[in-house]
Amino acid sequence: MTPTRDILDRAWPQILAAPKDGAAISHLCIRPERNTRRFVDELHLSAEQGVRGDPRWLNEPWLKTEEGTGHPGIQVCVLSRRVLDLVWNYDVIFPGDTFIVDMNLTMENLPTGTRLAVGTAVLEVSDVFNEGCVKWKARYGVDAYDWARDPANRHLRPRGILCSIVQDGLIRTGDRLFKQQ
């Protein structure tokens, strides 16, 4: 069953109450091929190669640079645990985000350019907005899709954040995501 718009809108206080820093990572995920998800205990991140075991950024990026390579701002996709809990039930495919974190992902808390340390890697919050794709609509419903794309919610980033990898490293389930000062 997919959540209604009313349920999603009423969840904002709970979503926004998530920790603003130092939140634990869960659900590390790679997409070895289209529509396939594999949960892993650790991820190797590389500024040049993206997420090891997840070839989509290198081979089939949905956003490209002028040179035709994957846009660095879409290497890592991060979704709020509280949003995931609202939309995902285990009967449908996992969204495919690189990792899930119980953290406030709003523009106010994590403006574009914010550096995030996790494990031995460092990420940078991209200016590319994640508005959700048609698959989000098909899997989680029209209301979840419209809610994620609603211009009034844009600053709250309901569909999570996109990041570039600025320092190669390893992250593990349970590592904490920290804003760098």
What was the pLDDT predicted at 48? Answer: 95
Please, which residues have CB within 8 angstroms of residue 67's CB and are 6 or more apart in sequence? none
- Domains of the chain by residue range: 5-176
pLDDT category of residue 15 using cuts at 50, 70 and 90: very high
Both structure tokens of 68? 């035709």
Model confidence, pTM:
0.93
How does pLDDT run across 81-129, given as a tens digit for each residue?
999 999 987 677 788 889 999 999 999 999 999 999 999 999 999 999 9
What was the pLDDT predicted at 133? Answer: 78
pLDDT exceeds 80 at position 132 = no
Q: How many C-beta neighbours within 10 Å does residue 104 have? A: 20
Options 2.40.30.110, 2.40.33.20, 3.40.50.300, 1.20.80.10; CATH for 5-176 is 2.40.33.20
The answer to whether 23 and 178 are in contact (CB under 8 A) is: no
Residues in the chain: 181
Q: How many C-beta neighbours within 10 Å does residue 174 have? A: 11
